[in-house]
Amino acid sequence: MASTMREPDVQKATTPSLFAAVLGDARELAIGYLERMQRESAQELGNLKHAIGRTAVAVGIVIVGAVLAGHTLALGLAALGLALWMGYAIAAVAAIAGGMILLSRWPKDSKDLDLIPEESIAKLKQDVERVKDAARSA
Q: Give me the pLDDT at residue 115, please.
A: 67
Q: Give me the pLDDT at residue 5, please.
A: 45
DSSP 81-103: T--HHHHHHHHHHHHHHHHHHHH
Number of domains in the chain: 1
Write phi, then psi, for 30 (nearest 5 degrees).
Answer: -65, -40
Helix, coil or strand: residue 45: helix
**Beta-carbon count within 10 A of 116 CB:** 13
| C-beta separation of 72 from 88 below 8 A | no
Q: Give me the pLDDT at residue 14, please.
A: 82
Q: Is 81 left (phi over 0), alpha (psi -120 to 50) or beta?
A: left
Would the pTM count as exceeding 0.75? no
Encoded amino acid at 35, one letter: E
User: In order along the chain (138 residues), what is the average pLDDT of each group of 10 residues?
Assistant: 49 76 83 86 85 89 88 91 90 87 75 70 82 75
Q: Could you list the residue range(s) of the whole structural domain that residue 72 is in?
A: 2-137
